[in-house]
Amino acid sequence: MDIPAICDAEELSCDVLVIGGGTAGTMAALTAAERGARVLLLEKAHVRHSGALAMGMDGVNNAVVPGRAEPDDYVAEITRANDGIVDQSTVRQTATRGFAMVQRLESYGVKFEKDEHGEYAVRQVHRSGSYVLPMPEGKDVKKVLYRQLRRREMRERIRIENRVMPVRVLTSPDDGRAIGAAGFNTRTGAFVTVRSGAVILATGPCGRLGLPASGYLYGTYENPTNAGDGYAMAYHAGAALTGIECFQINPLIKDYNGPACAYVANPFGGYQVNRHGERFVDCDYWSGQMMSEFATELASDRGPVYLKLSHLPEESVASLESILHTTERPTRGTFHAGRGHDYRTHDVEMHISEIGLCGGHSASGVRVDDHARTTVPRLYAAGDLASVPHNYMIGAFVFGDLAGADAARYTAYEGELPQRQLAEAHELVYRPLRNPDGPPQPQVEYKLRRFVNDYVAPPKTGAKLSLAVAAFDRMTGEIAQMGATTAHELMRCAEVSFIRDCAEMAARSSLARTESRWGLYHERLDHPERDDAGWLHHLDLRKSASGTMEFTARPVEPYLVPVDGFTPAGGPERHLGEVGLVPVATAGPRRTPPAARTAAPLAPEEAAAAGPARATGPARATGPARAAGHSPRILELLALAEESPDLPALLPYLGDPDPAVRAAAVAALGETVPAGAGPALALRLADADRAVRAAAAGALRELVEVLPGGPDLAAGLRAALAVGDPAVRSAALEVLRALRLGDAELYAAALADAEVDVRIHAIRGLVSVDAATELAAAAGDPAREVRVAVAKGLAAIRDPAPAPLDPLLSDTDPLVRGAALGALASAGCPDGYARTAVAALDDTAWQVRAGAAAGLSAAVAEAAVPALAKALADADADVRKAAVLSLLAHRACAEARAALATAVGDPDADVRAYAARA
């Protein structure tokens, strides 16, 4: 398909834009319309059967029915379940408004179970509180809601656009308020823009975050179409998200992406047991703590874990089958039948779901107040997307209603939509079309979510989470390269970008909260204790002005309902900024390496010709195959190269005006190596094009063992030392040294070069001609790397002596001192130097101590062995290894052998192995 232009976008207008046609979205649209607003409801599928609710619902988990439960008890229950980190004002909205919502749904035609007297048949599932209200015909809930949306009076105010997927909320450049959205049609691919007075996000959880054990991308516990769209849109709109480190992890049927339905089975007498039939759950509420107990049991020799039903009478089993096989997952009966399982003879094996983000079943979502307002003006969030802990279906309806009522106050935005934001949304949607043969979405998404499982799923550690952040950063480029050819594939590609955003939020948030809380939901092995003194706080994240993810620790507000064991301390917010990563690139303690060197910049005229990428990055050789599409001359050259031409046949191509042809000719020269190739390559070191010069330098280095070192080549290499490109000068020095074409005067002159790498090559040249005096003169070089090379060079010349090392032994840089001390092993370590080395064994830098231990191998045993024996207790394994190696040089001494005998039990394998040689 063709990429539509932004100016051809279909523009829609409304007072209230509702994104997502599931549980919260339908209720928000109905309420806003009832309040007189013009409503636009966007759904990337079809409202009639979209959202988690479309799969059916077996019951209400949090019905606070008067006479059966009290709102304050429910608020306290949710506070305990969430380890005290709740905004009780939001939870109380569900507690106080939930029963009226049940009655409203009932007036629409939703059926709730009642007893023989017409009273709601509320069940007690947990050990305190009766909140579960079964829905025997819950499979029809979405059908009932859709019927309400299509009522004539609602159709006049609610416009439904199915198959339209928003990807970004648009915000006003003036005051940051939400003013609409940008997206596309998932069937036609048309670009769609919306201007509105307010925006309600109701896109559900991020259920497609972790990878199910089956490896099937869409075999998730939550509705797999919920890919974190709203989380990403809220984040990029500038809204605060909170609790993202508190994952959703659920018990489910083994090998089946559906819940074990304990909420339904428990009132009938079902319960969770281990393989011995023992009940094991101590926690009183379905929470992270309960999941922690569940995971522990599952991993023990008491596993597997089951939902026990086989002990129930026939009538109970039959009732369960009628509910579970028709409501929550209609395929459940087929699944059990395919395995030959019957509830009468088989209990249901349970397992643990993949991780996800969900406010309604956990606590991770967009931060909202008690009217569903986010921190962005006129932007609302409701349902599983909003961080109202354990809100479930009734809470989604309640907050959809609250959002619709509040948003109905606003009318459509009339200004110009922000072009930059539209362009960013357009790029996000359509970039896969520019790369139709790029990696397909399933492959990229599988890789992304496998990283989530490997590094983000609990139990968590700072190291694994840091690896996750690095992986997600790296995958940004891979996601940008995904390919698509249809509008449906564009939808899936956009979803992968949302999943990546959510994965990074989950990893960084988990890094930021340096404690363990919520049981399995946030178990940090490196911070195993709960820290109420420091962390009875919400952890908010948002996108900073510079585009980075920053964090704030927000104190829990004073409780409306006191809860034993939790006392919010209040106080100011703590701005945490960006979270720090744990060093993971090296094993063991990180040591400070030499400073990295950056590539020399191009000359201005080269930068202008090369373009932004080549102006700043390292040069790459351009071979014939790479450049074949640039010039027909290259095709001629390729044909010629097959015939092993002599140098005169290649010379016209080496002088071609097109640098791509010249680079290809250099590559051909390097492949065929005719007579005179060396001088011809040296001549190309002065080429005007950087890529040609790099190709010539690479060819010379590659051919250095086969090129004859004649005067023509020597002259060409010496001339190259005046070229402005430092990479050329380095290559010229290297080839001059390797072919023995340089002398002390030439190399000493190169010590004045401005480029560190060139000076290091000059040092190596001086070593090759044993120019000790010139080497010693470089001991004052301003670059540490050069001084280290000098120290090693003074040890590598013939007939080394310790005296030239004197200035380096007192150098201010520990790496230089360490190299100089190590050089004493070759240069000699007479009495005065031995005392210097012994004293250096107490240096704070491990590099210095290791160098000193190495240098003492050349000292007399009486001075060296006692100090080396003491060094075997050094905290650094590399120092101990150096001491063992030096003691091996003194093994004729009994004291050295005794010291080595003690090292055979060292915890470091290298130290043990070398000591054993004695």
What's the mean per-residue pLDDT of the chain? Answer: 90
- Alpha-carbon Rg of the chain, whole angstroms? 36
Range in 510-524, 659-673, 799-813 the model is least confident about: 659-673
Rounded distance between C-alpha atoms, residue 238 and residue 246, angstroms: 21
Instruction: State the pLDDT confidence band at 608, using cuts at 50, 70 and 90.
Output: very low
Rounded distance between C-alpha atoms, residue 135 and residue 60, angstroms: 7
- Phi-psi map region of 708: left, alpha, beta (phi>0 left; psi -120 to 50 alpha): beta
pLDDT at 642: 74
pLDDT at 620: 38
- State the CB neighbour count (10 A cutoff) for residue 284: 15
Instruction: State the pLDDT confidence band at 611, using cuts at 50, 70 and 90.
Output: very low
Q: Is the pLDDT of residue 626 over 70?
A: no
Buried b (16+ CB within 10 A) or exposed e, 138-156: bbbbbebbbebbeeeebee
- Checking DSSP bridges between strand 178-185 and strand 133-134, what pairing results, if any? unpaired
In sequence order, the β-bridge partners of residue 790 are none
Instruction: State the pLDDT confidence band at 601, using cuts at 50, 70 and 90.
Output: low
Q: Is the pLDDT of residue 239 over 60?
A: yes
pLDDT at 328: 62
| Type of residue numbered 846 | W
Q: Alpha-carbon torsion 14, 18, 19, 22, what sign?
A: negative
- 704 vs 780, which has greater pLDDT? 780
pLDDT at 123: 73
Tens of pLDDT along 116-170? 777 877 776 655 667 677 776 667 788 889 889 988 889 899 999 999 999 999 9
Residue range 829-843: average pLDDT?
Answer: 96
Residue range 268-285: average pLDDT?
Answer: 81
The pair of structure tokens assigned to 596 is 């990295």
| DSSP codes of every residue in 529-586 | S--HHHH-EEEEEEE-TTS-EEEEEEEPPPPSS-BTTB-------EEEESPPPPP-SS
SS3 191: strand
Q: Is the pLDDT of residue 617 over 70?
A: no
Tens of pLDDT along 766-814? 999 999 999 999 999 999 999 999 999 999 999 999 999 999 999 999 9
pLDDT at 117: 75
CA atoms within 13 A on the CB side of 297: 24
DSSP letter for 353, please. Answer: P
Lookup result for tokens 């659920």: 250
The pair of structure tokens assigned to 761 is 């090559």
| Type of residue numbered 829 | C
Rounded distance between C-alpha atoms, residue 848 and residue 50, angstroms: 67
First-to-final CA distance of the chain: 74
| Type of residue numbered 333 | G
Q: Is the pLDDT of residue 317 over 60?
A: yes
Q: Is the pLDDT of residue 598 over 60?
A: no
Rounded distance between C-alpha atoms, residue 821 and residue 809, angstroms: 7
Instruction: State the pLDDT confidence band at 285, using cuts at 50, 70 and 90.
Output: low
Residue range 843-847: average pLDDT?
Answer: 93
Q: Is 30 in contact with 404 (CB distance < 8 Å)? A: yes
Lookup result for tokens 């054993």: 916
pLDDT at 144: 85
The CB-based long-range contact list for 212-215 (8 Å cut-off, 24+ gap) reads 212/257, 212/353, 212/354, 213/255, 213/351, 213/354, 214/255, 214/257, 215/446
Instruction: State the pLDDT confidence band at 20, using cuts at 50, 70 and 90.
Output: very high
- State the CB neighbour count (10 A cutoff) for residue 265: 24
Alpha-carbon separation of residue 217 from 213, 441, 449 (angstroms)? 10, 11, 9
Rounded distance between C-alpha atoms, residue 368 and residue 388, angstroms: 8
Rounded distance between C-alpha atoms, residue 20 and residue 23, angstroms: 9
Q: Is the pLDDT of residue 473 over 70?
A: yes
Q: Would you give the distance in Å from CA 877 to the centre of its chain?
A: 33
Rounded distance between C-alpha atoms, residue 184 and residue 250, angstroms: 33
- State the CB neighbour count (10 A cutoff) for residue 534: 12
Of 203, 163, 149, 180, the C-alpha closest to 33 is: 149
Any residues with CB less than 8 A from the CB of 755 and at least 6 apart, and which?
600, 726, 729, 730
At residue 834, what are phi and psi to the nearest 5 degrees? -60, -40
Tens of pLDDT along 627-660? 334 578 888 888 888 777 899 999 999 999 999 9
Residue range 346-368: average pLDDT?
Answer: 93
Range in 223-227, 258-262, 408-412, 531-535 the model is least confident about: 258-262
pLDDT at 621: 38
In sequence order, the β-bridge partners of residue 43 are 162
Q: Rounded to 5 degrees, what angle do the CA atoms 170, 173, 178 make?
A: 35
| DSSP codes of every residue in 404-434 | HHHHTT-----SPPPHHHHHHHHHHHHGGGG
Q: Is the pLDDT of residue 614 over 80?
A: no
Q: At what angle do helices 784-796 and 814-827 cross, to 10 degrees?
A: 0
Any residues with CB less than 8 A from the CB of 738 and at least 6 apart, and which?
704, 705
- In the sheet that holds 16-19, the strands lie side by side as 158-162, 39-43, 16-19, 198-201, 379-381
At residue 375, what are phi and psi to the nearest 5 degrees? -80, -5
Instruction: State the pLDDT confidence band at 360, using cuts at 50, 70 and 90.
Output: confident
pLDDT at 594: 55
Rounded distance between C-alpha atoms, residue 766 and residue 289, angstroms: 68
Q: Rounded to 5 degrees, what angle do the CA atoms 276, 282, 286 make?
A: 105
Tens of pLDDT along 240-276? 999 999 999 988 888 888 777 766 777 778 888 899 8
pLDDT at 209: 96
Q: Is the pLDDT of residue 593 over 80?
A: no
**Bond into 652 cis (ω within 30):** no
DSSP letter for 776, please. Answer: H
Tens of pLDDT along 208-238? 999 998 889 998 888 899 999 999 999 999 9
Q: Is the pLDDT of residue 67 over 90?
A: no
Listed in sequence order, the DSSP H helices in 325-440 are 332-338, 392-407, 419-430
pLDDT at 84: 94
The pair of structure tokens assigned to 726 is 């430092």
pLDDT at 629: 45
SS3 182: strand
pLDDT at 327: 66
Q: Is the pLDDT of residue 880 over 60?
A: yes
- Phi-psi map region of 383: left, alpha, beta (phi>0 left; psi -120 to 50 alpha): left
Instruction: State the pLDDT confidence band at 751, using cuts at 50, 70 and 90.
Output: very high
Any residues with CB less than 8 A from the CB of 155 and at least 6 apart, and which?
149
Of 703, 700, 751, 750, the C-alpha closest to 723 is: 750
pLDDT at 615: 38
pLDDT at 605: 47
Residue range 670-688: average pLDDT?
Answer: 92
SS3 879: helix
Q: Is 800 in contact with 808 (CB distance < 8 Å)? A: no
SS3 224: coil
Listed in sequence order, the DSSP H helices in 658-796 are 659-672, 677-684, 690-703, 711-720, 726-738, 744-750, 756-768, 772-777, 784-796
Instruction: State the pLDDT confidence band at 373, using cuts at 50, 70 and 90.
Output: very high
Q: At what angle do helices 632-641 and 659-672 cross, to 10 degrees?
A: 10
pLDDT at 133: 75
Rounded distance between C-alpha atoms, residue 909 and residue 590, angstroms: 19
Q: Is 555 in contact with 82 (CB distance < 8 Å)? A: no
Please give the helix or strand (H or E) that residue 299 lies within, else none: helix 288-299
Percent with pLDDT over 70 in the chain: 93
DSSP letter for 856, please. Answer: G
The pair of structure tokens assigned to 886 is 């030096």
Please give the helix or strand (H or E) that residue 183 lies within, else none: strand 178-185
**Bond into 304 cis (ω within 30):** yes
pTM (2 decimals)?
0.77
The pair of structure tokens assigned to 72 is 């304050």
Name the percent of the chain in helix, strand, coil, to the closest 5. 50, 10, 40
